[in-house]
Amino acid sequence: MSGGWTFVCTTAELLPGEMQVAFDEVSGVQIVVFNLDGDLYAYEDRCSHEDFELSVGHFDAASGEIECVLHGARFDVQDGRALCAPAHEPVIKFPVKVEDGRVYVRDDRDD
């Protein structure tokens, strides 16, 4: 897709309470997309405390949090902020768009 957007999955493959991972070939970054009650949020798939994939952690849709399994840091899925130690910095958030039932993300840090 033009404009640096990366296809993740269809909306049918990302239901509320689920997450999907995509690899942005332009930036070389792995991105995780969360469906929280029908709203989509995308972040770099990396804990801000230590370089470890968030997508292997537990996504608690009831609380809207993702927990890193490495050291137990938790992040708010809506805004990426760290909710507890050992993480103190938010995770990097990326834009998400849906077109024709397809979910796209983009690493916009160089815009």
Per-residue pLDDT, 110:
76
Supply the CATH classification number for the domain 2-104: 2.102.10.10
pLDDT 10s digits, 35-59: 999 999 999 999 999 999 999 999 9
- How large is the average pLDDT for residues 80-99? 97
pTM for the structure as a whole = 0.94
Per-residue pLDDT, 4:
85
**Burial zone of 105 (CB within 10 Å; 0-12 exposed, 13-18 middle, 19+ buried):** buried
In angstroms, the Cα distances linking 92 to 1, 50, 55, 77, 100 are 22, 13, 14, 11, 26
User: Mean pLDDT of all residues in the chain?
Assistant: 95
Pairing relation of β-strands 39-44 and 93-94? antiparallel
- How large is the average pLDDT for residues 83-110? 96
Per-residue pLDDT, 77:
98
